[in-house]
Amino acid sequence: MQFATSMTVLLFLFAHVQCIPVKGIDLNRLPRPESPQEQPEERIPTKKELPANFIIKKRKDKNDPNSPAYKARMLANMTGHPRNSKEYKKVYDSHYFKLRKEQGSKFYEGMTKDPELSAKMHKEGQRRSTTRFNRALQERKRTGNMTSADRRYYEMSNKRARELYKKDPQACKERGRRFRLKVKALKERLKPVEKESKPVDESHANE
């Protein structure tokens, strides 16, 4: 009797499953494209996030005539300043970073496996360093704890701005306009998104 009951239940379940409609599955269907809001922003990875085998530990030869260090050293030697002096270091750094910027990703050829990414990382690192410096400077100015170096920095910046304005006023105005638009766009992007308040169902609220 028990066996007959079990068989009846199994047959009933089998017949019920057979009646369930099954939708066709298209194996060639492509995934749904992400909307612009869902797509993650392109972010340059930091050195800590890179795999260990990304960086080839090989430095540029300072005695290579094509290296920025060699060219900058030759230009600094032509000034006649003694080595290890502030004037010599200032001239050397100015020419070195200018030449390195001109080379771009070529500077990293033979040093890393992806010269383009290394150049982007270097540029991103410089941007972050400048941002940290400017924030600290603005904080010291706001709190009234400016140092003599800070005041000297503002004096030289104002002097340089006046010289550039006298040289080409229209270019300075255009550069200032682009900077203001950039700051405005950044503020809009960083503005917190207000969550839409859901309407309260009064029928449930009165219960």
Domain that includes residue 80, residue range? 46-146
For residue 121, the model assigns a pLDDT of 83
Closest among 77, 127, 69 to 98, alpha carbons compared: 69
Distances (CA, A) of 171 to 48, 155, 165: 40, 22, 8
Query: Is residue 51, in this structure, part of any structural domain at all?
Result: yes
d(CA 11, CA 26) in angstroms, rounded, equals: 31
The domain boundary residue, chosen from 146, 176, 197: 146
* pTM of the predicted model over 0.85: no
In a domain, 11, yes or no: no
CB 81 within 8 A of CB 91: yes
User: In degrees, to the nearest 5, what angle opens at C-alpha 114 toward C-alphas 110 and 120?
Assistant: 115
Angle at 150 between CA 121 and CA 141, to 5 degrees: 95
So what's the pLDDT on residue 60? 61
Check whether residue 85 and residue 165 sit in a common domain.
no
- Residue 158's pLDDT is what? 92
Token representation of residue 87? 């004037």
Number of folded domains that form the chain: 2
What token pair was written down for 51? Answer: 């795999």
Residues in the chain: 207
CA-closest candidate to residue 120, choices 107, 135, 133, 134: 107
**Tokens 């298209």, located at residue:** 26
- Same domain for 63 and 107, yes or no, is yes
The verdict on residue 118 lying in a domain is yes
94 lies in a domain?
A: yes
Tell whether 53 and 142 lie within a shared domain: yes
Query: How confident is the model at residue 152, as a pLDDT?
Result: 92
pLDDT tens for the chain, 207 residues long, are: 555 566 665 665 655 545 545 455 555 555 565 555 555 566 666 666 666 556 555 566 667 777 888 888 888 898 888 888 888 998 998 898 888 888 888 877 777 777 888 888 888 888 888 899 999 999 999 999 999 999 999 999 999 999 989 999 999 999 989 989 988 888 888 877 555 555 555 555 454
